[in-house]
C-alpha cells in the first residue's frame, strides 16, 4: 500500500488574508498522518477548536509530494529566485 503522508500544522497569522505566521517559533505541529482522511479530521478538529480567533489557521501539507524524486518539478517547488 502506498503511503501518502500528510502534516497538519497551524498558528496565528499576521493578517487573516495572508499565509504569513505571526511567530514561526509558535507554530503548532498537530502531527503526521498516513492518509488525507485522517489528516483532514485532525485539521477540522483544530480549526473548530480555534474558530473564535480569526487570525488562527491550520493547514494540511502533502508530504508525500515532497518525496516524489521521480518528478522533475512538483507543486511544492519554490517559485523563481
Nearest to 64 by CA among 42, 21, 38, 33: 33
Q: 8: Cβ–Cβ under 8 A, 6 or more apart, which residues?
A: 29, 30, 31, 33, 39, 42, 43, 46, 58, 59, 60, 61
With bands split at pLDDT 50, 70 and 90, how would you rate the model's confidence at 56?
very high
Q: Is the pLDDT of residue 68 over 90?
A: no
CATH architecture of 6-66: 2-Layer Sandwich (3.30)
What are the tens digits of pLDDT across the range 3-17?
Answer: 789 999 999 999 999
Q: Percentage of the chain surpassing pLDDT 70?
A: 79
Say what the pTM is: 0.77
C-alpha to C-alpha distance for 31 and 41, rounded to whole angstroms: 12
Amino acid at each position: 500500500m502506498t503511503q501518502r503522508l500528510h502534516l497538519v500544522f497551524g498558528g496565528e497569522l499576521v493578517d487573516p488574508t495572508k499565509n504569513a505566521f505571526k511567530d514561526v517559533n509558535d507554530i503548532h505541529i498537530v502531527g503526521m498522518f498516513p492518509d488525507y482522511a485522517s489528516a483532514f479530521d485532525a485539521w477540522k478538529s483544530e480549526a473548530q477548536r480555534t474558530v473564535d480567533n480569526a487570525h488562527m489557521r491550520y493547514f494540511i501539507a502533502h508530504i508525500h509530494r515532497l518525496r516524489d524524486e521521480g518528478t522533475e518539478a512538483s507543486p511544492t517547488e519554490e517559485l523563481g529566485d
